[in-house]
Chain A
Amino acid sequence: GENVEQHPSTLSVQEGDSAVIKCTYSDSASNYFPWYKQELGKRPQLIIDIRSNVGEKKDQRIAVTLNKTAKHFSLHITETQPEDSAVYFCAAPRGTGKLIFGQGTTLQVKP
């Protein structure tokens, strides 16, 4: 079955800097990779996702890249702002309809 590893577990950056979070997966058949953001005390919310037929997807300051050969995908946040501070989870499918989540990365953006 699918296994997802996420790194780093914590990340601290200065406001305006970039942040990168990386996930690796094990099942080469996986074809969908969402990223969720969870603010303190709130629900996880989808911020961006990528399907296996593309290598990169951007949405304003966030982007996701996918390397199918190496079986890893990364979240890139540019020009970070304090409101980007949250826990970020990557995920990959395991079987039909199921998602396996990474352990999460706590991002702190210092003003």
Chain B
Amino acid sequence: DAGVIQSPRHEVTEMGQEVTLRCKPISGHNSLFWYRQTMMRGLELLIYFNNNVPIDDSGMPEDRFSAKMPNASFSTLKIQPSEPRDSAVYFCASSLSGGDTDTQYFGPGTRLTVL
């Protein structure tokens, strides 16, 4: 079991540039979550998908953020244009069916630095 896979692991970019983060959930898992972790705000849920459909995007900070899940094995989180305050660790997680008691398994994260 490869677990949740994220790429890149580290990204350094300049303000104004577009950033795309990628995630491959655990095979067979139907729910996928994008989180952002910062010292100030802790672990925040940005958006989650169930069966490739966005269910709740209320945590997406603003229009500069967008997420897609074109198929069951791939999702992207895009920031355009990026700003220094977007610097954070972004985690992707997946669970079996998105039920209330399903365990969420986290990927290794992408550490984003926006200069």
A residues contacting B by CB (< 8 A) are 31-32, 34, 36, 42-46, 49, 51, 89, 93, 95-104
B residues contacting A by CB (< 8 A) are 31, 33, 42-43, 45, 48, 50, 55-56, 91, 95, 98-109
B42–A104 CB distance below 8 A? yes
A44–B106 CB distance below 8 A? yes
Query: Interface on chain B toward A: helix, strand, loop, or mixed SS?
Result: strand
A95–B56 CB distance below 8 A? yes
Q: Which residues of A contact B102 (CB under 8 A)?
A: 97
Q: Which residues of B contact A42 (CB under 8 A)?
A: 108
CB of B14 to closest CB in A, whole Å:
24
CB of A96 to closest CB in B, whole Å:
6
Contacts A31-B100, A97-B100, A98-B56 known; A44 to B91 CB distance under 8 Å? yes
B100–A32 CB distance below 8 A? yes
B107–A43 CB distance below 8 A? yes
A98–B101 CB distance below 8 A? no
